[in-house]
Amino acid sequence: MPTQIVRTTPIEGQKPGTSGLRKQTAVFRRPHFLENYVQAIFDGIGGIEGKTLIVGGDGRFYNDQAIQIILRMAAANGATKCIVGQGGILSTPAASHLIRLRKADGGLILSASHNPGGPDADFGLKYNGRNGGPASERITDEIFQRTATLDFFKIAACDDIDLTEIGIQSVESMEVEIVDPVADYATLMRSIVNFDKIHNLFANGFTMCFDAMHAVTGPYAHAILEDMLGAAKGTVINGIPSEDFGKGHPDPNPIWAKQLMDKMYGTDAPDFGAASDGDGDRNMIVGRGAYITPSDSLALLTAKAHLAPAYRGGLAGVARSMPTSRAVDRVADSLGIACYETPTGWKFFGNLLDAGKVTLCGEESAGTGSDHVREKDGLWAVLLWLNILAETKMSVTDLMNDLWATHGRCYYSRLDYEAVESDKATQMINGLQAKLGDLVGQKIGTLDIETADEFSYLDPVDGSTSANQGLRISFVGGARVVFRLSGTGTQGATIRIYLEQLEINPNRLQQDVMSVLQPVRDAALILSDLVAITGRTAPDVIT
Ligand code: VG1
Ligand code: CO
């Protein structure tokens, strides 16, 4: 079957963001849009001749068609082999693991993660490198530059490849191996947490609800939680991946995972609740009547990770993204280990993990991970929690109260203003940025500003600098507000405001979160002038 060389012209706007290229599905389906981007990836990484790639996605609309195009293009570009998840399915952490396990040269993961899916929703594609992690900024820049110059792409003219049958096929001279998407990942999980202990926990009547949100973790959770660990059938809800995620947002937060929240706050709530996102790299943890902020979850996992076999020897260090609360810093401090602060997005953790400087890392947006892969990993976090619950025999609530009593509590919330007109969002951020230097010492409402700066990250491993990573203002007494623009939205701009207040008084650890954060929320609105500039009087999502 001949390889076709198709003449094309560069396409504007193929600039990958925090995690790959994310666009409306309709944009991805425009003539040559996907093909150009895939060719730009292949060229941007120095060609794929003789290389092996992992390919899979979160099962959203267009997943299978896009995989067919990618495979035909990989063959035409001279790849030796593509390893594809059966049915085109691979969670992001499972893909990261496969890249490492099979010593592949990289992987293409088809997902727009927490963004909704369907013909009228979003689609995405990201490239992960040899270490299994998101491409570095250098590589994403190469890819982006290539999108602006490319004038042809190569594609094999052949029939569709059967993605349903496990086994080996070929496309021209390239081998395509279809693999079980769950098996290797489950084996990895078994090597990290104590499956026997967790099995006993369930056997003794422990109850759980896992909301897969109609997304990719369904098959993983069914196999691991119910089949291997013996959780009752029905533990996993919304467990069959659907093309449009049941028309929901597969974003594991109290707003979008409402079905789970209602269960966890209702009568007869199970002992433990969790949810994961579109591509399976995030997790939300809920106890009976108790939502755990991702920042607190990271702190708890750091404090107790040694209870799981893989971390018995302790942690080399931890890392959190800048807007993530400083709860984990306090735990790291007491453990005597380093705590790194990185920009938002998983790629910055990769260098620290590769260099052995950290073992755990996490973000306020419900991403947590460890050195077992180079992506955040939703189900892994849930299993580590289960391991800790099994070892301590404590409830989620008791574990958190214990953590706060020891380290203090970082009250925390994030406000999202979505689809704001881009120029207004930029105007707001620029206005605030311009006056940062004058803020120190000023009183805003009841709070005194202690420091104000724009976060810039110097990578301690490769020495690279990433500037403009968010504006942060901290106040005397442990309050902090962070402002940044989202890099994953597909319409207008999303402004994120992160609020935090540390409380160490043991008598004040059980207050209402929003009341505690009111002064810092007021200060954030005064400082940014958000209402006047954007016309928005309330956030769209509060988590
Ligand atoms: C969001 C989150 C960030 C996360 C990113 C990718 O980015 O805030 O913490 O790393 O999504 O996660 P942003 O730029 O919109 O704030 V995923 O699971 O959606 O790939
Ligand atoms: Co995700």
Q: What is the pLDDT of residues 237-258, one digit of tens each?
A: 999 999 999 998 999 988 899 9
207 to 46, 177, 194, 288, 525: CA distances (angstroms)? 50, 38, 18, 10, 42
Beta bridge partners of 362: 320, 368
- Residues 237, 264 contacting (CB under 8 angstroms): no
User: Which two tokens mark 403?
Assistant: 């953590």
Per-residue pLDDT band at 1 (split at 50, 70, 90): low
pLDDT of 5 higher than 90 = no
Residue 267 confidence (pLDDT):
94
The CA-CA-CA angle for residues 382, 483, 317, to 5°, reads 45
pLDDT of 195 higher than 90 = yes
Per-residue pLDDT band at 537 (split at 50, 70, 90): very high
- DSSP code for 434: H
Residue 453 confidence (pLDDT):
94
Provide the residue type at 89 as one letter: I
CA–CA dist 350, 218 (Å, integer):
26
- Domain spanning 3-181: CATH 3.40.50.10490: no
- Residues 445, 477 contacting (CB under 8 angstroms): no
Q: Which atom of ligand 1 is nearest to the CA of 376?
A: 18
363 lines ligand 1 (CB under 6 A): yes
% of the chain residues with pLDDT over 90: 89
128 lines ligand 1 (CB under 6 A): no
Q: Which one has a higher pLDDT value, 16 or 421?
A: 421
The topology under which CATH files domain 409-542 is: TATA-Binding Protein (3.30.310)
Helix or strand or coil: residue 536? Answer: coil
345 lines ligand 1 (CB under 6 A): yes
Residue 7 confidence (pLDDT):
84
Give the range among 14-18, 260-264, 325-329, 473-477 with minimum mean pLDDT: 14-18
Q: Which atom of ligand 1 is nearest to the CA of 488?
A: 15
What's the rounded mean pLDDT across residues 394-406? 97
- Known catalytic residue at 113: yes
Mutate to test the pocket of ligand 1, among 298, 344, 346, 349 (most ligand atoms within 8 A of CB): 344
Question: For residue 98, how many other CB atoms are within 10 A of its CB?
Answer: 25
444 to 363, 519, 521, 522, 536: CA distances (angstroms)? 28, 9, 11, 9, 21
pLDDT of 45 higher than 70 = yes
- CA–centroid distance, 278 to ligand 2, in Å, is 6
Q: Which CATH architecture has domain 185-407?
A: 3-Layer(aba) Sandwich (3.40)
pLDDT of 482 higher than 60 = yes
Element (H, E) at 519: helix 513-528
Helix or strand or coil: residue 534? Answer: helix
- Residues 479, 447 contacting (CB under 8 angstroms): yes
Residue 138 confidence (pLDDT):
87
Phi/psi for 316 (5° steps) reads -70, -35
Per-residue pLDDT band at 8 (split at 50, 70, 90): confident
- Max mean pLDDT among 251-255, 397-401, 485-489, 490-494 falls in 397-401
For ligand 1, atom 8, name the residue with the nearest CA.
Answer: 365
Per-residue pLDDT band at 17 (split at 50, 70, 90): confident
Q: Which one has a higher pLDDT value, 389 or 18?
A: 389
Helix or strand or coil: residue 98? Answer: helix
Helix or strand or coil: residue 191? Answer: helix
Per-residue model confidence as pLDDT tens digits over 454-473: 999 999 999 889 899 999 99
Domains 185-407 and 409-542 share a fold: no
CA–CA dist 503, 509 (Å, integer):
7
- Residues 38, 73 contacting (CB under 8 angstroms): yes
- Residues 182, 217 contacting (CB under 8 angstroms): no
- DSSP code for 424: H
What's the rounded mean pLDDT across residues 160-165? 94
- Residues 89, 167 contacting (CB under 8 angstroms): no
Per-residue pLDDT band at 475 (split at 50, 70, 90): very high
How far is residue 540 CA from its own chain's centroid? Answer: 20
Q: Relative to the alpha carbon of 487, which ligand is closest?
A: 1
Whose CA is closest to 263, among 251, 272, 255? 272
Per-residue pLDDT band at 263 (split at 50, 70, 90): very high
For ligand 1, atom 2, name the residue with the nearest CA.
Answer: 365
pLDDT of 390 higher than 90 = yes
Residue 23 confidence (pLDDT):
92
- Supply the pTM of this predicted model: 0.94
Residue 91 confidence (pLDDT):
97
Per-residue pLDDT band at 130 (split at 50, 70, 90): very high
Element (H, E) at 496: strand 493-503
Per-residue model confidence as pLDDT tens digits over 266-308: 999 999 999 999 999 999 999 999 999 999 999 999 999 999 9
- CA–centroid distance, 279 to ligand 2, in Å, is 5
Domain boundaries, the chain: 3-181, 185-407, 409-542
- CA–centroid distance, 489 to ligand 1, in Å, is 9
% of the chain residues with pLDDT over 70: 100
